[in-house]
Structure 1
């Protein structure tokens, strides 16, 4: 609008100057009409220019709005990319777990544990004897069925690390003690010679790495004797720590 006013004032000034400088008292009507038409033309051009300027400003506003929208869309795209990356990582982890389950036959880690005592009724004196294997008849638990109460032998159902503990009790008439055996080889033991206090007790424990099918059981020492009743003085227990 300021530009338009400036142009109109300039044209009016030119007309006034020409009128003042003219030698004739009156301006030629034709020439005046031509100048009026010229001013109308210029005013139309000014109106057109103003409209173009307004359109340009509107276009610039829309362009700025589009730029802002694109910036928001880019930020949203970056966020979605990050979420997609996180989801891909979780998916990969899930696929790895599924593959592990497939390789293990879809089974969870096995559960193996047993706990036994020598006597399931009355009183039992075991030893001295030729068959020195102790058969623990009172079975408190036998998860995984690794322990055989008919033979006294625990058979490992899977490769793994196992924990075993045992206790022995006896009277001073005989040597008291037993040996934990693995596939016929001595591992750890309890041992008490005859003493004057009337009875002896002892306990021990061990962690063993076993392969599927390895056998663990208890044997008496040579010329030894142990005693058991429902009070559970002589015991044998074990469980799987974790498979390997």
Structure 2
């Protein structure tokens, strides 16, 4: 009888325990499901973060490339503007600074083929470009120049003079006289020249030039245009 009562006392306890076990199992299942979902969410976030980082890196790379292109373009434009300004300043400073006119002020009785004509008397000169002792022009700066020369032949028959640049002739002047007469001829050239080049007038044939202190018929002129 006592044993029966004891057993009857434990039965409700056992039944309560039996009811508690399924509840705990359900709770653990829910927790496991939540953990699994969190892991899945975390993996997705990590993938998205990785993708965002990659996009940022690519964007930074593109920006650096664009910045380099813009910098290069800006540098090119700045250099062009600087060169233009320097050329403009140089031209404004020297437009009237390099020029000369020289004449022959005496009679040259015998002029041999290939000899440089020495226009000995300077009428004007700015910039020290013509040497009246040698008859040679030394180009003082790169630019566009104009040169003009004349010769006056005194009864030599036919005579040719040529404008030379560094040994290469550009334009010619020819006179052809008959009897005891004088004839004048010449030519003009516009040339783009570099600093240091040489220009002169040279005889293509022999002959004699006419000139004196009052009649300047044999002349040589040059000037920087641009």
Contiguous gaps of at least 5 residues in structure 1: 1-94
Residue 132 (structure 2) pairs with residue 149 (structure 1): yes
* Alignment of 1:169 onto 2:152: yes
Q: Is the 8 A contact 2:107 2:208 kept in 1?
A: no
In structure 2, what is the equivalent of residue 235 of structure 1? 219
Pair 221,96 (structure 1): closer, same or farther in 2 beyond 3 Å:
closer
Contact 2:156 2:207 in 1 (8 A): no
Conserved in 1, the CA contact under 8 Å of 2:161 and 2:205?
A: no
Give the drift of 1:138. Answer: 0.9
Q: Specify the alignment match of 1:117 in structure 2.
A: 103
Checking the alignment, whether the CA contact within 8 Å between 2:160 and 2:205 is kept in structure 1 is: no
Task: Quote the offset at 1:190 in angstroms.
Answer: 1.0
The partner residue of 1:216 within 181, 199, 202 is 199
User: What is the CA deviation profile of residues 39-70 of structure 1, one whole-angstrom value per residue up to 9, with x for unaligned ones?
Assistant: xxxxxxxxxxxxxxxxxxxxxxxxxxxxxxxx
Is the 2:151–2:184 Cα contact (8 Å) retained in structure 1?
yes
Q: State how many pairs are aligned.
A: 145
Deviations 1:103-162, CA, capped at 9 Å, x for gaps:
56975442211101012xxx3215332661011111011111110111110111111110
| Distance in 2, Cα, partners of 1:104 & 1:188 | 29
Secondary structure of the residue aligned to 1:228 is: coil
Q: Give TM-score scaled by structure 1 length.
A: 0.52
Deviation at residue 196 of structure 1 after TM alignment = 3.7
Separation of aligned partners in 1, 2:156 and 2:113: 18
Pair 1:176–1:227, CA change in 2 (3 A): farther
Check the 8 A contact 1:176/1:226 in 2, yes or no: no
What are the residue-to-residue correspondences of 1:1-244 with 2, within 5 Å?
99=82, 103=86, 107=90, 108-110=92-94, 111-119=97-105, 123-129=106-112, 132-196=115-179, 198-230=181-213, 231-242=215-226
Distance 1:181 1:97 in 2: 34
Q: State which drifts further: 182-191 or 98-107.
A: 98-107
In structure 2, how many angstroms separate the alpha carbons of the residues matched to 1:126 and 1:215? 26
Give the TM-score normalised by the residue count of structure 2: 0.56
Instruction: State the shift of 1:176 in Å.
Output: 2.9
